[in-house]
Amino acid sequence: MSWTMARRAERMNPSIIREILKITERPGILSLAGGLPAAETFPVEAMREATARVLADTPREALQYAPSEGFGPLREWIAAHLGAQGMDVDSSQVLITNGSQQGLDLAGKLLLDPGSRVAVESPTYLGALQAFAPCEPEFVALECDAEGPVPAALDAAAGARALYVLPNFQNPSGHCIGEARREALVAAARRLALPLIEDDPYGELWYDAPPPRPLAARCPGQVLYLGSFSKVLAPGLRLGYAVAPEPLFPKLLQAKQAADLHTPGFNQRVVHEIVRNGFLREHVPTIRARYKRQRDAMRESLQRYLAGLGCRWVVPSGGMFFWVELPAGIDAMALLPQAVEAGVAFVPGAAFYSGTPRHHTLRLSFVTVTPERIATGIALLAGVLQRALSTTPHLTA
């Protein structure tokens, strides 16, 4: 039997990261490749108690079909939570999603036609490229520097359906867009009447200072904002949210209904039970303290082992990743099997480009490995790179 699939199926790709993870998560491999939060940060006890309370107090409501918009009290909590970050959000604008990944999928369905343009950072989050690709858009890869999209480059996005942007501790580059750059981007987006999709799963994971206000706080009617509980509670809950401007919300809701009717009401009630009394105010600082130690360990190890080999990176002030540029001419994808052989894994950077990839880049996660193991992993990586450089004499660092 031969099935004829829709054209969009051709644009669906396996996540290279998930494919790589299958190899790199083998026992014995020190993996700096994962994009997972540290499981030690999951609030298991609070989950246990909240689950018991939901099952005791509202078991039938929690197990029944629920509104597509989401659980009202959780939507209100999210609106207030974002209000504290400078966003003026009414709970009627909040749609609860199955992780922010679903927000990306729905945004693609809502905004992109075959051949329409969508602007993205370069590099950008691979999962967004995966979510948008089946809609068959043309990706416009914007020039970025250490602080995100260069405002002057935004003209290339004129006429695009949206710019997808990650202002806080971007996956994969780790960059955080500063105050002045945010203002410049918003001014350019206004001038071009360019809608923004602001993806912000990492904003609360800051280690040096809180990031500047979200873009959605600066030009609210122009931004579809996506948030997530994955990095501050647990990704297995699959709980995220979209904040949509007035004209977008009804269609976003219809897309959500078509996709899955609603996000599990049980999970929403459990999470609301956890967050409603200020749990995150105590919990998130413990995650920050943990990840900051690991970030610092990776910074020191990179300086010690890779600085002399012609590599470059910008120290991320939050999030989960270092983005490393190897000496030009070294292909990180070709280096990976040698690294795995040596016992360490990373994600080659090429996967994160919508257009021409920069092959000499790679992403390192620091959150699931202890500081000691981070040092071991970076030393192993340096050994592999050293060997590659020595067999490619014209590439001496």
Return residues touching ligand PMP (CB under 6 A): 35, 99-101, 125, 127, 166, 171, 199, 201, 228, 230, 235, 240
- Using the minimum distance from each CB to ligand PMP, give the nearer residue, 16 or 395: 16
Q: Measured from the CB of residue 128, what is the shortest distance to ligand PMP in angstroms?
A: 7
CB of 150: closest distance to ligand PMP in angstroms?
20
Helix-, strand-, coil-residue percentages of the chain, each rounded to 5: 50, 15, 35
Cis peptide before 172 (omega within 30 of 0): yes
Residue type, 200: D
We find the least distance from the C-beta atom of residue 227 to ligand PMP, in angstroms, to be: 8
- Identify which of residues 37 and 265 has a Cβ nearer to ligand PMP in the complex: 37
CB closer to ligand PMP out of 170 and 222: 170
Bridge partners of residue 111, in order along the sequence: none
Say how far apart CA 397 and CA 395 lie, in whole Å: 6
Q: What is the distance between the alpha carbons of residues 99 and 111, in angstroms, rounded to a whole number?
A: 19
DSSP three-state, residue 249: helix
Q: Within 10 A of 174 (CB to CB), how many other CB atoms are there?
A: 24
CA distance 275 to 268: 10
Judged by beta carbon, residue 32 or residue 330, the one nearer ligand PMP is 32
Q: By C-beta, is 35 or 134 nearer to ligand PMP? A: 35
* Contact (CB, 8 A) for 216 and 197: no
Smallest distance, ligand PMP to C-beta of residue 96, A? 12
Rounded to whole angstroms, how far apart are CA atoms 284 and 318? Answer: 13
Least distance from C-beta 240 to ligand PMP, angstroms? 4
Q: Which is nearer to ligand PMP, 36 or 375 (CB)?
A: 36
Written as one letter, the residue type at 56 is A
Q: How far is the CB of 25 from ligand PMP (least distance, A)?
A: 16
DSSP β-ladder status, 344-345 and 148-149: unpaired
User: CB of 359: closest distance to ligand PMP in angstroms?
Assistant: 22
Measured from each CB, the residue nearest to ligand PMP is 99
Tell me how far, at minimum, the Cβ of 124 lies from ligand PMP, in Å. Answer: 8
Residues in CB range of 356: below 8 A, 6 or more apart: 141
Q: What is the end-to-end Cα distance of the chain in Å, rounded?
A: 55
| Nearest to ligand PMP of 15, 58 (CB atom) | 15
Nearer to ligand PMP, 232 or 335 (CB): 232
Using alpha carbons, list the distances in angstroms from residue 124 to 7, 8, 161, 167, 173. Answer: 24, 21, 17, 11, 8
Residues 92, 352: Cα–Cα separation, whole Å: 34
The helix (H) or strand (E) run that includes residue 80 is helix 72-83
Classify residue 330 by its DSSP letter: -
Instruction: Output 201 or 388, the one with its CB closest to ligand PMP.
Output: 201
Minimum distance from residue 45 beta carbon to ligand PMP (Å): 22
